[in-house]
Every structure is written in C-alpha cells, then in structure tokens.
Amino acid sequence: MDATILAYIAGFLDGDGSIFFQLVRRKDYCHGFQIRTSLAFYQKTENEEILLWLKQQFSSGYIRRRKTGITDYTIVEPGEVRRILELLQPYVRLKKEHVRLGLEILERLPLAEDATELVSLCLLVDRFQVINYSKKRTNTSEVVIDYLKSHGYLAPVETDPEKERVVGLAGG
C-alpha cells in the first residue's frame, strides 16, 4: 500500500479511530477469558463512504450502522489487527503508545494458553483502560487472577503493575 495512503489512514485512526483490547469472559476457553482485539474507525453515517473505502483497502473487518447516526468499521481478527497496526505504525502520532502496546500484546497472544502468560497479558490489557480513558471496564487482570486461582490454574499470585508482569506465580 502506498505510503501516502497509509499516512492518511494513520491520521484517520489518530482522529476518528480506536485501538482497544478487552478481557472477555468465555466459558468455552480453557482459562475462562479471551483477550479480544479491536481496531475501529468511526464516522457519521452520512459519510460512511470513507469507511467503505477503508474496508476495501484492508479487505477485512465489518461495517455497522448504529441507530445513533454513527457508522463504524471494525477489525477484530488478531492477525488482521496486527497486520494493519504494523502498516500504520510508522505514521501514527497520537496513538503511538496504543500501537506499540497493541503489537506487544498481539505478539505474545499465542502464549496466552499458559495461565502465567495470560495474567501477564491481562496486565498489559489493563493499560488500555488508562490510555483510552475507559471507566466502564469490569473484567480486569484482578478478575482474571481471582478466576484462575479459584479454578486451580494458579497458586497465590503477586503482580508488579510497574513492570506489567507476574511474580511469585505458579501456573499450569
């Protein structure tokens, strides 16, 4: 993709886009939680043509019209989110930390089958609450740790939020 187009899309992401990661309770997952990735662009429905153009550029994701008059273009598949973030990384300005953190999580995501690594990733996901000014999150690393301990996946745990890692943890 042309650098000018990538720079334009990165500017769109900086202004009318969002990068976020969520901890989602999933009964069908071995450790009870999924790390959901999302990359989204927003626009008034009357201007949705630009979102259709974006979808054409990336060939992934879906477009949803909301009753509020806003339309969003969202990509959730982790491999696609990673591919797009890597393309846009050199050009973003306001969301540099979002992209850096997102790529770190996505790189380590395949390791999340290990309970200890899952907790470490959950600590990174918690950082999105701060950089996205989120106030409504209910599933945090603490919730995941409590769940994992209560189901025998972890021995007592101690986290070091400053280093975003788990210390003193026995997982399986």
SS (H, E, C) the chain: CCHHHHHHHHHHHHHHEEEEEEEEECCCCCCCEEEEEEEEEEEEHHHCHHHHHHHHHHCCCEEEECCCCEEEEEECCHHHHHHHHHHHCCCCCCCHHHHHHHHHHHHHHHHHHCHHHHHHHHHHHHHHHHHCCCCCCCCCHHHHHHHHHHCCCECCCEEECCCCEEECCCEC
Is 152 a known active-site residue?
no
Residue 168 confidence class, pLDDT cut points 50, 70, 90:
very low
Task: Determine which one of 11, 14, 16, 114 is catalytic.
Answer: 16
159 versus 11: the higher-pLDDT residue is: 11
Lowest mean pLDDT among 38-42, 114-118, 136-140: 136-140
Mean pLDDT (the chain, rounded): 88
Is 168 a known active-site residue?
no
pLDDT at 167 over 80: no
According to CATH, the topology of domain 3-167 is Endonuclease I-creI (3.10.28)
pLDDT at 166 over 60: no
pLDDT average, residue stretch 127-144: 82
pLDDT, tens only, 99-110? 999 999 999 988
Burial of 29 (0-12, 13-18, 19+ CB in 10 A): middle
pLDDT at 58 over 60: yes
pLDDT of residue 156: 60
pLDDT at 87 over 90: yes
Task: Determine which one of 15, 79, 168, 172 is catalytic.
Answer: 15
Amino acid in the structure at residue 154: L
Report the percent of the chain where pLDDT is more than 70.
88
pTM: 0.84
